[in-house]
Amino acid sequence: MKVVVIGGGPGGYVAAIRASLLNAEVVLIEKDSIGGTCLNVGCIPTKALLHSAKLLEESKNFSDYGIDIEIKGYKWKRIQEKKSLVVNQLVSGVRKLLEISKIQIIKGEASFVNDCTLEVKKEDGNLETIKADKIIIATGSMPIVPQVPGIKDHDICIDSTKALSLEAVPKTMVVIGGGVIGIELATIYSSFGTKVIIVEALSKLLPMMDGEFTDFIRQILESKGITIMTEAKVTSIENVNGIAKVNVESNGNFKSLEVEKVLVSVGRRTNVDKLNLDKAGILHDKGRIRVNEKMETNIPSIYAIGDCLGKVMLAHVASVQGEIAAENALGHNSIYDGKTCPSCVYTNPEFAGVGFTEEELKEKGILYTIGKFPLYSNSKSLIENDGVGIVKLIFGEKYGELLGAHILGPRATDIIGECALALRLEATKEEIISTIHGHPTITEAIREAALAAEKRAIHIPNK
CA angle 450, 210, 343 (to 5 degrees): 90
Q: Which stretch binds ligand NAI (CB under 6 A): 93-101, 172-180, 321-329, 359-367?
A: 172-180
* Residue 182 within binding range of ligand NAI, rule CB under 6 A: yes
Residue nearest ligand NAI (C-beta atom): 179
With respect to ligand NAI, which residue has the nearer C-beta, 179 or 322? Answer: 179
The region of 4-12, 119-127, 149-157, 178-186 touching ligand NAI under the rule CB under 6 A is: 178-186
Bond from prior residue into 349 cis (ω within 30 degrees of 0): yes
Identity of the residue, 132 or 412, whose beta carbon is nearer to ligand NAI in the bound complex: 412
Parallel, antiparallel or unpaired: strands 268-270 and 302-304: unpaired
**In the complex, minimum distance from the CB of residue 344 to ligand NAI, in angstroms, rounded to a whole number:** 5
Nearer to ligand NAI, 27 or 313 (CB): 313
For residues 328 and 293, give the distance between their C-alpha atoms in angstroms, rounded to a whole number: 11
Q: What residue spans of 22-74 are helical by DSSP H? A: 36, 43-59
Q: Which amino acid, one-letter code, is at 203? A: S
Mark 345-374 with x for binding to ligand NAI (rule: CB under 6 A) and - for no binding.
xx----------------------------
Burial class (CB in 10 A: 0-12, 13-18, 19+), 331: exposed
Closest of 40, 3, 42, 6 to residue 23, by C-alpha = 3
CA dihedral sign of residues 40, 42, 44, 50: positive
Sheet holding 243-250: strands in order across?
232-240, 243-250, 253-259
- Continuous segment of H or E residues that includes residue 249: strand 243-250
Cβ proximity of 393 and 403 under 8 Å:
no
| DSSP H or E stretch at residue 372 | strand 368-374
Pick the catalytic residue: 316, 406, 439, 459?
Answer: 439
The CA radius of gyration of the chain, in Å to the nearest whole number, is 24
The residue range among 63-71, 266-274, 330-338, 375-383 that interacts with ligand NAI, by the rule CB under 6 A, is 266-274
* Of 89, 96, 145, 146, the one binding ligand NAI by CB under 6 A: 146
From candidates 12, 45, 170, 177, binder to ligand NAI by CB under 6 A: 177
Q: Does 179 bind ligand NAI (CB under 6 A)?
A: yes
CB closer to ligand NAI, 264 vs 275: 264
Stretch that binds ligand NAI, among 12-20, 109-117, 260-268, 437-445 (CB under 6 A): 260-268
Gap between the Cα atoms of 14 and 19, Å rounded: 9
Report the residue number, 213 or 346, with the smaller CB distance to ligand NAI. Answer: 346
If binding is defined by CB under 6 A, does position 145 make contact with ligand NAI? no
User: Judged by CB, which is closer to ligand NAI: 80, or 160?
Assistant: 160
Answer for the pair 248, 229: CB distance below 8 angstroms, yes or no: yes
Q: Does 202 bind ligand NAI (CB under 6 A)?
A: yes
Annotated catalytic, 439?
yes
Active site residues: 439
By CB under 6 A, name the binding residues for ligand NAI: 146, 176-182, 184, 199-202, 207, 233-234, 265-268, 313-314, 344-346
